[in-house]
Amino acid sequence: MVDMKQFCLSCSCISQYDLSLPFILDGWLYATDGHIAVRKRSDEPNTDGQFPRIIEDMFSHVDHTDMLAVPSCNIAPRATRCGDCGGIGKLSKCEECNGTGEVKCLECGHIDDCDECGGKGRISGGSTPCERCDNTGTIQIYPNVKLFGQWFDGQFIAKILTIPGVTAKIENGMLAFCNEEYFGLLMPITGPFVDRCSIDLDANQEPTP
């Protein structure tokens, strides 16, 4: 059995919906964090609460047929220094901007990001545990993965590979994947690649710096 919770949002405070647990809508059990979405059939009643019904529309426009096998690969993260706390594991409020991340020009009134904290509102050091690295000072960075001609965040490909017999293809600009029980969608990487190695599954390559 696949752990559906691994596809959920780790912190519900950054979404208008509570996506921290799987939910049921109209005969389907869904799990999503906004980047990846997985569903399977369910006979249980709808989950109480408000959930993004757009997810039903997204799946309705995807054809999960004529899929291709996903090459197996060991996609492992590497530890790197946390950029939020500078590797210290602790944070404190930026006194320059009073924790807002913004400063106002006294001459023209224009609002800019605070130079002291880089617009984050926090600086390294202090006594507040860093939430991004869980007070460890390091974070796990997954490689980018190229599959069927598009690039994806390796952490999601690693989760997809936990689905037995998973197959996939590019559909409507997304990675559509499934087996006989689970159906899913994954958004590709659209921004610049920063501080990551890469794995080209199309070429069956190992990670390269």
Q: How many helices (H) and strands (E) in the chain? A: 2, 17
| Buried/exposed code over 123-134 (b: 16+ C-beta within 10 A; e: otherwise) | bbeeeeebeebe
Pick the more confident residue, 39 or 139.
39
Rounded distance between C-alpha atoms, residue 30 and residue 51, angstroms: 10
Q: Any idea which fold 81-141 has?
A: Chaperone, DNAj Protein; Chain A (2.10.230)
pLDDT at 196: 60
Instruction: Provide the pLDDT confidence category of residue 50 given band limits of 50, 70 and 90.
Output: confident
Rounded distance between C-alpha atoms, residue 195 and residue 139, angstroms: 12
Q: Please state the pTM of the whole predicted model.
A: 0.73
Take residue 69 and report the two structure tokens written for it. Answer: 């096998």
Amino acid at residue number 36: I
Rounded distance between C-alpha atoms, residue 56 and residue 63, angstroms: 13
In the chain, domain spans = 4-75+143-200, 81-141
User: Cβ of 151: how many Cβ atoms within 10 Å?
Assistant: 16
Of all residues in the chain, the percent with pLDDT exceeding 70 is: 90
Instruction: Provide the pLDDT confidence category of residue 191 given band limits of 50, 70 and 90.
Output: low
pLDDT digits (tens, 9 = 90+) for 64-73: 989 999 988 8
Residue 209 has pLDDT above 60, yes or no: no
Pick the more confident residue, 193 or 117.
117
